[in-house]
Amino acid sequence: MLGQAEGLKQEPKIISVVSGKGGVGKSLIAVNLSIAMNKLGKKVLLYDIDIGFGSVEILLGSSAKLTMKDYFQNKTSLDNIIMKTKYDIDIISGGLDVEDLVYFNIGNKDSLFKDFSRVMSKYDFIILDFPPGYNENLENFYESSDFMVLITTSEPTSLINAYTFLKMMAVKGIDPDELHVVLNMARDMKDARKCMERFIGVIERFIGMSPSATHIMRFDNSVRKSVENQKPFVVEKKTSQPSLVIYRLANLITKERKIKEKKTFLDKLKAFLRIG
C-alpha cells in the first residue's frame, strides 16, 4: 500500500528538472542528482520524460528495452518498464512523443492511478527529466512537483526562456513548494553571481516568485568527459565543483523540514494523471 498507510515511510516527493532552453544540462543534472540522493540513502526513481530518445540512458551507459509506450500500448506492466541501473537508481524511459502524452489524458484512469501509486510509493523521490520549454501537454507533471529545479546558463536566450517558463507557471497557478535555480556552465564565478542576482531580482519583481536557493555550476571539462565516458561525474569526480553543487542541492532537498503539506501524494498523483 501507499507510504502514508504504512505510517513509517514518508510519501514520495516529486522533483522536476526543467529549463526554458535546450542543452543547458537538465539530463546531466537529473542523472547526477539522482545518484547523489541515492548516496544520501534515498530510494530514487528517475523518469525520463524527454520526448524522442533517452538522454538519461545514454548518460548512464545503459539502455531500456521497454518504455512507457509499451506500457500504454498494454504490451507490458508498469513494473516491467522500470529499469535497475548499476548506480542503484531505477529509471523509466519515456519513449513517448507529444501525441502519446494524450494517453495520460484518455487512458484508463483507474488502472493508471493504481499502477502509478503502487509503483511510485516504493520510492522516496521521483525525479522527472523534462524536454526544454514550457509544454502545455506536460502541465500535469509540473503541477505534481514538490521541488522544481530550473536550469539556465548565463546566455540571454537561456535566461529569457527561463523567465518565460516561470511566468507561464505563475499564470497557470503552478506553485511548487521549493524552486531551485541553477546557473550552469559558468566560466567566470563573479559574472555568474551577478547574472544570478539580476535574474532573481527580475523574477521576484515581475513574477513574484522567490527561489528557495540558487546554485552556480562551473563549466568543467570533467563534466564533458563524464558524458563521453558515460560515467556520472558525482561518482567519477566527487570533489569537482559541479559534484559539490549537486551534493548541496541533494542535501537541501533531502533535509527534514516541517512545512505543512499543501497536497498529499495522492492529490499530486491525481494531478499527474489528470484525474478529478
| CB nearer Mg ion, residue 92 or residue 273 | 92
Please select the residue that binds ligand ATP; options are 103, 113, 116, 219, rule is CB under 6 A: 219
Contact yes or no for 16/151 (Cβ under 8 A): no
Q: How far is the CB of 114 from ligand ATP (least distance, A)?
A: 31
- The C-alpha atoms of residue 252 and residue 174 are separated, in whole angstroms, by 21
The phi, psi pair for 192, rounded to 5°, reads -65, -40
The binding track of 121-160 with respect to ligand ATP, each residue x by CB under 6 A or -, is ----------xx----------------------------
- Smallest distance from ligand ATP to CB 122, Å: 26
Number of residues engaging ligand ATP in binding (CB under 6 A): 21
Burial classification of residue 89, based on how many CB atoms lie within 10 Å of its CB (0-12 exposed, 13-18 middle, 19 or more buried) = buried
Of 227, 235, 244, 252, which one interacts with ligand ATP (CB under 6 A)?
227
Of positions 3, 15, 18, 27, contacts ligand ATP by CB under 6 A: 27
Distance of alpha carbon 48 from alpha carbon 63, whole angstroms: 12
> Which grid coordinates are listed for 81?
518498464
23 binds ligand ATP (CB under 6 A): yes
Site string for Mg ion, 11-50 (x = CB under 5 A): ---------------xx-----------------------
Residue 161 in contact with ligand ATP, rule: CB under 6 A? no
65 binds ligand ATP (CB under 6 A): no
What strands lie across the sheet with 90-93, from one edge to the other? 82-84, 90-93, 44-48, 125-129, 13-19, 147-152, 178-186, 213-218
- Least CB distance from residue 48 to Mg ion, whole Å? 8
Beta carbon of residue 129, minimum distance to ligand ATP (angstroms, whole number):
7
Site residues for ligand ATP, 172-201, by CB under 6 A, read: 184-185
- Binding partner at 273 among ligand ATP, Mg ion, none, C-beta below 5 to 8 Å by kind: none
* Closer to Mg ion by Cβ: residue 27 or 32: 27
Q: If binding is defined by CB under 5 A, does position 55 make contact with Mg ion? A: yes
The interface region with ligand ATP, picked from 21-29, 40-48, 81-89, 192-200 by CB under 6 A, is: 21-29
Residue 55 contacts ligand ATP per CB under 6 A: yes
- Residues making contact with ligand ATP (CB under 6 A): 19, 22-28, 50, 55, 131-132, 184-185, 217, 219-220, 223-224, 227, 242
**Residues of this chain that bind Mg ion (CB under 5 A):** 26-27, 55
